[in-house]
């Protein structure tokens, strides 16, 4: 699933292609991809409008149009936005597409059909309930202390709860907890001040490193130009069961934390 680094990469790489461009058409091939508005209404609402800017909020990519209207794209497990030309070739698993006035076409591909395009005109949109951005100025150590206080849930589950912290998913939670040397099953409220500070630093370090490498391609994620990300090449534990811990050499383990596959070093993360 594209997480914060992947969506941030998509946002940065798409922005120069779409900012200031006029949307000339929209086609929907899978009805459930569009939420919050009827397809015909959405097509009429965005056609002829220019894209003022793109931004990311958590795992959502947000298109802001010149008349103040906005819509989001959530990639879920297997979604991607691929920039192509209007040569008639539609990539496999395309669920929707946007045509721009410079002959660029944005193809929303999604093999498993879980991804969503959603109007932001409703106050019920999930984006309004997201927690703070982990790379934002407001996400301080004290902020993290407050977010984890009183939570008996495993710390990994707390990190992935989008209402607490926006954008962190499975693999980056594993990487941050390993870097901070914290076991993913520890109750969130049990972290002492030093551990919370270490986790705060690890979250930022892991996310920034992944953005630098253009996100992680471990399944379907691709960048807008079709290229893969390289963040997975720097993973210490995520998706590396059986490999040796980079610190102590102990074989890494995979456990389940609230139905999510979780990777850790049993020696370094006691």
Residue that is written with structure tokens 């397809």 in the block: 39
Instruction: Spot the catalytic one: 3, 8, 13, 175.
Output: 3
Instruction: Spot the catalytic one: 45, 56, 59, 236.
Output: 59
Judge whether 75 and 112 are in contact, CB under 8 Å: no
Instruction: Spot the catalytic one: 22, 260, 266, 267.
Output: 260
Alpha carbons 224 and 212: distance in angstroms, whole number: 16
Phi-psi group of 198: left, alpha or beta (phi > 0 → left; psi -120 to 50 → alpha; rest → beta): alpha
Alpha carbons 156 and 37: distance in angstroms, whole number: 35
E strand or H helix that includes residue 64: strand 60-65
- CA 136, chain centre distance (Å): 15
Q: Is 133 considered catalytic here?
A: no
Closest listed residue to residue 63, CA positions, set 3, 127, 109, 111: 127
Alpha carbons 220 and 213: distance in angstroms, whole number: 16
Record the tokens describing residue 205, joined without a space. Answer: 């370090």
Record the tokens describing residue 102, joined without a space. Answer: 């410079």
Instruction: Spot the catalytic one: 2, 5, 134, 224.
Output: 2
Q: Is 59 considered catalytic here?
A: yes
In 34-63, which positions are buried (b, 16+ CB within 10 angstroms) versus exposed (e)?
bebbeeeebbebbeeeebbebebbbbbbbb
Alpha carbons 174 and 184: distance in angstroms, whole number: 7
Alpha carbons 21 and 192: distance in angstroms, whole number: 50
Q: Is 2 considered catalytic here?
A: yes
Measured torsion, CA atoms of residues 124, 127, 130, 134, in degrees rounded to the nearest 10: -170
Catalytic residues: 2-3, 59, 260
């Amino acid at each position: 699933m594209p997480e914060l680094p992947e969506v941030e990469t998509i946002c940065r790489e798409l922005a120069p292609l779409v900012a200031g461009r006029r949307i000339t058409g929209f086609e929907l091939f899978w009805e459930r991809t569009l939420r919050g508005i009827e397809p015909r209404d959405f097509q009429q609402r965005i056609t002829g409008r220019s894209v003022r800017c793109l931004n990311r909020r958590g795992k959502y990519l947000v298109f802001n149009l010149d008349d103040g209207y906005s819509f989001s794209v959530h990639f879920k497990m297997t979604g991607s936005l691929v920039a192509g030309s209007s040569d008639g070739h539609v990539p496999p698993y395309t669920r929707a597409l946007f045509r721009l006035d410079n002959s660029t076409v944005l193809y929303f591909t999604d093999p498993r059909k879980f991804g969503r395009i959603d109007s932001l005109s409703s106050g019920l949109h999930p984006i309004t309930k997201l927690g703070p951005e982990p790379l934002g100025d407001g996400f301080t150590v004290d902020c993290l202390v407050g977010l984890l206080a009183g939570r008996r849930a495993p710390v990994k589950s707390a990190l992935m709860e989008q209402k607490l912290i926006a954008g962190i998913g499975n693999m980056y939670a594993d990487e941050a907890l390993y870097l901070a040397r914290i076991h993913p099953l520890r109750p969130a409220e049990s972290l002492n001040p030093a551990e919370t500070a270490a986790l705060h630093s690890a979250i930022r370090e892991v996310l920034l490193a992944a953005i630098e490498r253009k996100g992680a391609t471990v399944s379907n994620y691709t960048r807008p130009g079709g290229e893969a990300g390289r963040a997975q090449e720097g993973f210490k534990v995520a998706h590396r069961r059986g490999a040796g811990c980079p610190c102590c050499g102990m074989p890494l383990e995979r456990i389940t934390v609230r139905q999510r596959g979780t990777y850790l070093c049993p020696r370094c993360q006691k």
